[in-house]
Chains A and B, each alone.
Chain A
Amino acid sequence: MIFNIPYIAVAVLILLGLYALIFKRNLIKMVIGITLIESGVNLFLITLGYRKESIAPIYTSSPGGVMAFPVPQALTLTSIVIGVAVIALMLSLVMHIYRHYGTLDVRKVRRLKE
């Protein structure tokens, strides 16, 4: 059971993120929704590489024993780096939207219709 907690957290994070993305009307909250989904996916990836009672995968002066699998960690890092770029881009777009529309409410940011 205890090893399933990360997976439950993954599900909770992704569902929360989707909820924020779909039902929240503030643009900043939508961006937070995206970051929540991203954290959930990253947590999922990192959990895949976990071994029971494992140590960090560094060879130099390691005490020996089972090592965690490093590839998912590398994948997660890549995904975090990409996430930073996406979030920065989104926030700067939100700033521009606020400048043009004077609001962050999605219901009022609707110049493009149909």
Chain B
Amino acid sequence: MNVPDYTIALVVAIPLLGAFLTPLVGRINDKLRNIFVILVLTLNAFLVFLLASDVLTTGIKTYVFGAQDISYPIVRILFEVDAMSIFMAIISSILVTVAVIYSWSFMKENTGLDKYYTLILLLTAGMLGMVLTGDMFNFFVFLEITSIASCALIAFWTHKGESVEAGFKYIVISAMGALFVLFAIALLYGQYNALNIALLSSVIQYTFLDKIALVLLIVALAMKAGIVPMHMWLPDSYGSAPSSISIILVSATLASLYGVFRVIFTLYGNVLSKIANFGIPVNVLIGWLIVALAVISILIGVFMALIQSDFKRLIAYGAVAELGYMFLGIGTGIVALGTAYGKTALDGGIFHVINDALDVGLLFLVAGAIYYATKETSLDKLGGLARNMKYTTVFFIIGFLAVAGMPPLNGFASKLLIYESTFQLNPILAIVAILCSILLLAVFVKVFYSAFMGPQLPKFKDVKEVPKSMLFSMGIIACIIVIFGLFPEFIINNLVEPAANALIGYSEYISQVVVGGI
């Protein structure tokens, strides 16, 4: 289906306009404001889906801000949307819409909700801008919008010391990371006099300064994506933020992950495969580095999850392990670029991005529901909740089975692809991945037993099922998880495969902007 080009601009503009309108609507009525925010985000998600159907059928779309055409030399801000960008945009819009519906009941008793919703809309604009933009400096600006908004949201419960502490940790990490990104952009700009990703990618030389810029970009963005050994902030902020924010943070983290992919595959895609260090192509070296980091992430994530006693921190460490699986798939894909199993690994890694967002998101929503009902997140004090909270229990079972990679849910589909391909690269990798997946299942079975099973505790006798809006939002994600698990082929062929091709096909990305390609 064809949509006009300006849909790309609207996708970022509508949440921004909504963000500034929210305080004004909030002065009239609280309910009206909630409806308004949900409507804005639903409309935006609808536009993203329309755009997706267009991009997936007709190929890359570009949009120039402020003028009709790209004028040369390129000085204008350019949005370039390919299948990978739209894939990430779909994840962000689903998660944000669900989180806002969830917030209706979850945040009901809080004050200052005008600012809460304003920040959520700003965060949405930032995430969508990050994944849709085709300009390095614009990417930095949206990165900063995302980090400022998400930091303020992590520390939203300012009456809790932990939230504020986690917020401060997050802002220090992200401010430093963003400044590194800006420094790298300045290094590239000083050499090539260009900020456009496609243009930079077509002229990049891999000089000494480019190497510094590459390291700075990957380190800063991987830090924001929460890869071990730079994961310290992630459990703190996921664990201390309100649950409705934790799920949005998952997608904000994934937007940084997209930045890593864009840098490796597109910005440096042209040079990395052609230049060799120590007789090995540089991209193979980077691929092995990513695989190593991924294995460490999986191990540390799972083993730290084993010893946690706080529900949300446990899920957060599970999320670190899941990030490791994504990186394992992508890293294997880079090492074995061009072979059949390399393609499978890339597919698996990218498919796991959306699966992780949904599964971990659902678990965070369940943790939030338990907190809402019992005001408790410590696993030692919970117990016997299945008697009173039937639907939440069902959603938790779906969530943890999906995270642990049990068939027929979506986590299994993507993890199977990752196991298959990593086994061909090195069997030990696949064995570690499978064992850790089983351990993750064990961790969550423990949680399931201690929180939901067992005798009914006297203090939780009057616990009621959570309100409908929370059940509804958990239900949406659970449905998507089951559908993805039942029809993985459909999703892989129509959404994941184009995204993987878009990552590999950097020359097409370049030729959309630069006349004559490379």
Contacts and interface: CB of A to CB of B under 8 A. Distances in A.
A37 interface: yes
A93 B171 contact: yes
B37 interface: no
A93 B155 contact: yes
Given A34-B175, A38-B179, A27 B168 contact: yes
Contacts of B75: 71
Interface string A14-36: 10000001000001001000100
A56 interface: no
Residue of A44, A75, A109, A110 with most partner-chain B CB within 10 A: A75
Contacts of B158: 96
Given A27-B168, A37-B176, A112-B239, A45 B307 contact: no
Contacts of B307: 114
* Interface size class, chain A: 20 to 34
A89 B165 contact: no
A89 B151 contact: yes
A21 B190 CA distance: 27
B47 interface: no
B161 A93 contact: no
B240 interface: yes
Nearest to A112: B236
Nearest to B184: A41
B179 A89 contact: no
Nearest to A95: B164
A78 interface: yes
A107 interface: no
B162 A112 contact: yes
A28 B160 CA distance: 20
Residue of B75, B148, B179, B236 with most partner-chain A CB within 10 A: B179
Given A38-B179, A78-B141, A21 B240 contact: no
Nearest to B236: A112
B448 interface: no
B112 to A, nearest CB: 14
A70 to B, nearest CB: 10
Nearest to B161: A100
A101 B160 CA distance: 11
B71 to A, nearest CB: 15
Interface string A70-114: 011001001100100110011001101100110000000111101
Contact of B171 (A71, A72, A90, A110): A90
A114 B231 CA distance: 11
B58 to A, nearest CB: 33
Interface of B: 75, 137, 140-141, 144, 148, 151-152, 155, 158, 160-162, 164-168, 171-172, 175-176, 178-179, 182-183, 186, 189-190, 235-236, 239-240, 304, 307-308, 313
Given A48-B189, A79-B140, A114-B313, 6 more contacts: A21-B172, A82-B144, A85-B148, A110-B165, A111-B161, A114-B304
